[in-house]
Structure 1
Amino acid sequence: MFDLKEIKGVIFDYGGTIDSNGTHWAEVLWDAYVSAEVPVTKEQFREAYVYTERFLAVNPVVEPHHNFNDLLKIKAGLQLQYLVENKMLTDVDKTESYSLAISNQCYTFAKDIIEKEKPILEQLRKRYPMVLVSNFYGNVQAVIEDFGLLKFFDEIIESAVVGVRKPDPAIFGLGVKALGLPARNIVVLGDSHSKDIVPATKNGCQTVWLKGKGWGDDEDGATADVIITDFMQLKDVFQLD
């Protein structure tokens, strides 16, 4: 049960929450593929997306200084390379232009969303200590610094740095420890029910689920203390001005 009076600290997910307003990044990327007129099916794209995420999880291609635009170019490049190598994409000469168009559209998408959300983050920051918990590639600090978000968080807990990945509840346990508060006095805000809400609940935290356009992998009956469909609804949840 959500109790605003009990809240003394906030844990934010990064990667689908602040940067895409609850929309799964695969969907954002696919929209960019469509806009760039890359001649592949969604299933082919999805296969390339999954391959790239798994590749990046075990290969240190992304460096700590890479911002989000850098990361998008790396991801798009790997996806397109996979599609070419597996003969799903034959326009080899266009891969560079495709990659640039995809990364630019996705970067602008994230930047525009974040700019709209900053007033809410500023108000929350005045009221609570805040920690970021993210499954990321070792460069999340460079990413959020580029977007002007670093000032909002007291600590950043990143899977590639701490060696624990969601949905392991231990990574949220590190967030609770960083805030130095009882778990019941902490609210976790995330876009993934299985990776954010479930492990946060196991730690005893309150939860706000930003339920957006995902990949349809939520369990039936999935719920949270509070469910919103737009980041801006946090104004009402926290009774902000």
Structure 2
Amino acid sequence: MIKGLLFDYGGTIDTNGRHWANVIWEAYQATGIETSFEQFMEAYAFGEKSLAINPIIKPHHIFSDVLRLKIELQFSHLKLKDDWYPKIEEVVSRCMELVVATVSEAKKTLDELAGQYPMVLVSNFYGNIQSVLSDFGLAHYFEYIVESAVVGVRKPNPAIYQLGVDHIGFKAAECAVIGDSFKKDIIPAKEVGCKTIWLNVDGIQEDLSVVGNESADAQIGDFIELQEALRKINTSVV
């Protein structure tokens, strides 16, 4: 039986399974930024790598700050002219509208689950996840936070999920991991021994429902389906 839950954050709670590259690309298109998807993806990868290896994001930064820094790096890589830079705020605004609405909906499910399970967050983030969670009113849901920039381990290394299991205090088989990335969440969680629920919506060419002999214990297409997925897993164990 499932006794504890471990959540991914980015792409799971904040976008309901939408990959952040897709979300930002759609904002680019809506804003009229002239670049190809291939060029954008190169810039997206450049920005993510830059933020991962350089201390650009500070602990006090909230998520709108993170988005602004990401998009500034992308614009720089794309070598967009200075007159395009006012578009950064429009891209940030469009993305934030989605996040605020999605987080508001996710809270309804988290409210239900918080009364039933202890919950831990396991996230590849930049050292400011506490500020982001507090700003969105999410911090109180999680008994502990395992953040890659703090613990020095990043997904898909299964050790980061083992840290989450250790902090939640149950056997791995008694814990369910919920995440949007098959390779970064589901596979390492299975290696640790956890049950897994894959929020399978629109990954960026990196997620497969089955890799080798691995598969998620449950798949959902919307965060609101999580409660039912947990019931099914628990029923199958009985």
Q: Into which bin does the TM-score normalised by the smaller protein fall?
A: over 0.9
What corresponds to 2:16 in structure 1?
A: 21
State whether residues 120 and 144 of structure 2, in contact with CA within 8 Å, keep that contact through their aligned partners in structure 1. yes
Residue 216 of structure 1: CA displacement? 1.6
Q: Give CA deviations for 1:11-41 in whole Å, capped at 9, x if unaligned.
A: 0001110001111100000000001100111
Counterpart code for 2:54: N
Please state if 1:160 is matched with 2:149: yes
What corresponds to 2:227 in structure 1?
A: 235
Q: Give CA deviations for 1:207-236 in whole Å, capped at 9, x if unaligned.
A: 000001111222463430000111111132
Alpha-carbon distance between aligned partners in 1 of 2:51 and 2:227, rounded to the nearest angstrom: 36
Give the match's secondary structure for 1:127.
Answer: coil
What corresponds to 2:84 in structure 1?
A: 94
Q: Give CA deviations for 1:89-137 in whole Å, capped at 9, x if unaligned.
A: 3x42121x21101111111111100101111101101111000000011
Alignment of 1:180-219 (within 5 A): 180-219=169-208
Q: Give CA deviations for 1:38-92 in whole Å, capped at 9, x if unaligned.
A: 01111111110000111111110000000000100111111111111xxxx3x42
State whether residues 113 and 227 of structure 2, in contact with CA within 8 Å, keep that contact through their aligned partners in structure 1. no
Alpha-carbon distance between aligned partners in 2 of 1:51 and 1:181, rounded to the nearest angstrom: 38
Alpha-carbon distance between aligned partners in 1 of 2:105 and 2:53, rounded to the nearest angstrom: 34
Instruction: Work out the number of aligned pairs and report it.
Output: 228
Counterpart code for 2:203: G
What corresponds to 1:43 in structure 2?
A: 38
* Displacement over 6 Å in runs of 4+: none
What corresponds to 1:67 in structure 2?
A: 62
State whether residues 179 and 185 of structure 2, in contact with CA within 8 Å, keep that contact through their aligned partners in structure 1. yes
What corresponds to 1:123 in structure 2?
A: 112
RMSD, aligned CA: 1.1
State whether residues 182 and 209 of structure 2, in contact with CA within 8 Å, keep that contact through their aligned partners in structure 1. no
1:148 to 133, 137, 140: 137
Rate the CA distance shift 1:219–1:119 in 2: closer, same or farther, 3 A. Answer: closer
Counterpart code for 2:228: D
